[in-house]
Structure 1
Amino acid sequence: MEKNPLQIQQITAHDYTSAPFEMVILPLGSLESHGGHMPLGTDALTAAILAEEVAAQIPGAAVLPVVPYGVSEHYRDFPFTISLRFETEIAIIKDILESLYREGIRRVFILNGHDGNIAPIEVAARSFKVAHPDIRIVSLGAWWETIGPLLPDDFFEIWNGLGHGGEGEMSIGLALFEELCQPEHAKGRVPDLPEIGEVKWCFSEITDCGATGDPTKGSREKGLIMKKTLVNAIVAMLTRLNEKNWHYER
């Protein structure tokens, strides 16, 4: 294996003391069904690959190993779901932040790939920030929502590209790990959800095939554009923060 200096798990203590990194990216994922067309680790794979793409363009940044499990109980009616409790996910994130803080890291970017992790990130990061005001934490909780406004209005064909294993996620999966996808098995359902408010569903209430949206409209070409657009946006955000020394006042 050729060493990748961006991956913290691959470097030695000597490497780190010789060239310490200043910012850490923490990718978070899950292990759950994404229909018959995407791998169970889609969220973890997406977060990990995007994190490395970002780190490659940010001087002094490095990537932690992805946390491969998340809060996935709402997907448990479809195989194969491994879920953490909310309390466990919160504790994992806080423990990682505590370890980073002990090591002298004061800049952390959390790149999340899974909807069930959004609430635990908020609880863990907010409470840790209050306890340690000198740390700087930025998170991207839902890249699939962030990407929409960055793309042309007519970029997606169905449901604004949304959906668990839908058009957008299928597209970025084909761009990042095409060899693990099986588009010949792609199918999904577009649920009839209210325009305002947020239904707290179990996934089997809104789909019978383990996916929502329309993955048949996904393509590698769309995914490559999505990847470039999203990575560029994150890099621009982190670059600006670095230029301001992660201070937020105008």
Structure 2
Amino acid sequence: MLWAERTWEEIGADVAASASAAILPVGATEQHGPHMGCGMDFVLADRLCRDVAAETGVPMLPTLPYGCSLGHSRRWPGTIALDPILMTRVVAAVGEDAYASGVRRLFIVNAHVTNAAPLRSALEILRAGHDDLMVALVNTATLSERVREAHFSDAADWHANDAETSLMMAIAPALVREDRLADADDPDRTDGLVFSHPVNRTSLNGVTGRPSLATAAKGERLFAWMVEDLCSLVRRGLRERPPLPHGYDERAKPART
């Protein structure tokens, strides 16, 4: 169910067979501390959505490997960031052409926390522009309560932490430098702060959390939860209808007195 592997003759049938749905995985390319590769976010988005597409039969659009990573600064090499306005336009453009290919239910699956604002902006643009298009924005770290608890277990402002490192140890071990785990931990310094500070002012090494706690077994369990919970969400979305039938441009009639 990979969009990139299907021909134009096949994609129309694929979309029609899946309640006119498609999945768009979105990640980032950014530093993930001294112990993990910079592609962690898009690798997770891609692998998760591949498995969910296979389970649900919903076509998966090519993964977007760049995200809104400006907050990681240029203190550490490796981050390739889109600014939020550009990212909004890119995702909205992808959605426009997906719509032209028949998609009417678009699941945007986001694996990088600070992509949320531009992705929400893209959702607003697409939804206002197409009355029959439904767009869902799903953040992988908060798919369900059990997934959320695992991500936030060692830091509120986590990054490259126990959960993320465990996930990569399970699904992409080549990204993890296990010999660097022991000294990669860095505490969360954001508690009680009023302002949102960039990572160069909250972390010594680009990490927030305790990757030293990571294990492949924990990652396998967490990834299985994520696949199961995202499949459940997608299947619910395939059946969903708007609660009310009113058109976006339809004028409400005055109530009779």
Q: Would you say same fold, with TM above 0.5? A: yes
What is the Cα deviation at residue 68 of structure 1? 0.8
Task: Decide which of 172, 178, 185 is 1:183's aligned counterpart.
Answer: 178
Q: Name the SS of the counterpart of 1:109 in structure 2.
A: strand
Report the counterpart of residue 65 of structure 2 in structure 1. Answer: 68
Cα deviation, 1:125-181, whole Å, max 9, x if unaligned, reads 01220221210111113x22345x22697x689526862100011111112101221
Q: Report 1:1-250 matches (<5 A).
A: 6-17=1-12, 19-21=14-16, 22-59=20-57, 61-76=58-73, 77-141=75-139, 143-147=140-144, 149-150=145-146, 159=154, 163-186=158-181, 187-194=184-191, 199-244=195-240, 246-248=241-243
Matched residue of 1:91: which SS? helix
- The verdict on how the C-alpha distance between 1:24 and 1:17 changes in structure 2, with shifts beyond 3 A counting, is closer
Q: Distance in 2 between matches of 1:57 and 1:114?
A: 23
Seen in structure 2, the aligned counterparts of structure 1 residues 29 and 228 have a Cα distance that, compared at 3 Å, is same
**Partners in 1 of 2:141 and 2:217 — Cα distance?**
17
Matched pairs, number = 238
Is 1:110–1:137's contact at 8 Å kept on the other side of the alignment? yes
The Cα RMSD (Å) is: 2.3
User: Shift of the alpha carbon at 1:231?
Assistant: 1.4
Gaps of 5+ in 2: 245-257
Report the Cα distance in structure 1 between the residues aligned to 2:162 and 2:123, rounded to whole angstroms: 30
**Structure with max Cα Rg:** 2
Code of the aligned partner of 1:57: E
- The percent of aligned pairs where both chains have the same amino acid is 23
Give the CA deviation at 1:19.
4.3
CA contact (8 A) 1:44 1:67 kept: yes
1:182-201 Cα offsets, whole Å, 9 max, x none, are 12112131223236x77411
Q: Point out where structure 1 has 5 or more consecutive residues left out of the alignment.
A: 1-5
With structure 1 as the length reference, what TM-score do the two structures score?
0.87
Aligned residues of 1:189 and 1:206 also touching (Cα < 8 A): no
